[in-house]
Amino acid sequence: MSDLEECQAILERVYAFHDGELEWEEIDQISSHLVGCESCLGHYETEKAMRALIRRGCLSEAPAGLRERIRESIAVG
């Protein structure tokens, strides 16, 4: 497998890696690759930062009345 193919394979599994959906063998493989590949590590860190932003955004309360408007919309739809 070429370096490019290996990177593509790693990046295809980075979401599952973040979500803890991989077996230990795959986790070790991806972790080892990230240590040695600056490009893939950059993609991993970007994904990690994006997930953190989304998590923080989900902690804030929705505007007052939004829940009721959604319920009304569902009831009418």
Angstrom distance (rounded) from CA 77 to CA 74: 5
Backbone angles phi, psi at 69, to 5 degrees: -65, -35
pLDDT at 76: 78
pLDDT at 44: 94
Angstrom distance (rounded) from CA 12 to CA 26: 12
Q: What is the pLDDT along the chain (77 residues), one digit of tens a residue?
A: 788 899 999 999 998 998 999 999 999 999 999 999 999 999 999 999 999 998 887 777 878 888 888 888 898 76
Name the domain count of the chain. 1
pLDDT at 63: 82
Residue 46's domain comprises 3-76
| Predicted TM-score (pTM) of this structure | 0.69
pLDDT at 62: 77
